[in-house]
Amino acid sequence: MDLAKLAADLRGYEGVLRKKGIGSITSALGMDVAPDDDAAVVELDSKTLLLACDSINEGLIEADPYFAGYSAVLVNVNDIAAMGGKPVALLDVLSSKDERAAQMIARGVGDAARKFAVPVVGGHFNPNSSCNGVVVSILGEAGRGNIL
């Protein structure tokens, strides 16, 4: 395996390149955490809460709306698990330019939520949008001192 070529390919990958400006965005938001953390940590009384939010790439949404919805839940559950937490609840935001895509995305979100036993407790639906989109936010919980 040519590690130099692999490293160059990874540095040139669109999924990496599109995140190049994240430092200036997090600075503008006043964030004092590293942007590569899987989830934000909020200490609240005796609880440690974890919050994460992910959107799904437009290319995947257009290619497979069901899997895009499913993936939106999957990546959030993964983010909480990567921090040593347990998922508690989900919120979703669904935008659609057509009803079929909206139904497929919603089915994917619902199926994944049931699969991972995390309830969808609210969200927002934006019909008649100029594009199809899905964003899922997750609340997780971890024991004090158990954050990975």
Q: What is the pLDDT of residues 71-120, one digit of tens each?
A: 999 999 999 999 899 999 999 999 999 999 999 999 999 999 999 999 99
Q: Measured in whole angstroms, how far is the alpha carbon of residue 65 from the centre of its chain?
A: 15
Structure confidence by residue, pLDDT tens digits, 117-138: 999 999 999 999 999 999 999 9
pTM above 0.85, yes or no: no
CA 55/CA 121 separation, integer angstroms = 18
Q: Which helix (H) or strand (E) holds 90?
A: strand 86-95
**CA angle, 136 then 148 then 7, to 5°:** 80
Tell me what pLDDT residue 71 has.
Answer: 98
Beta pairing, strands 120-126 & 86-95: parallel
Q: Where are the domains of the chain?
A: 1-36, 37-142
Topology of 37-142 in CATH? 60s Ribosomal Protein L30; Chain: A; (3.30.1330)
Is the CB of residue 17 less than 8 Å from the CB of residue 105? no
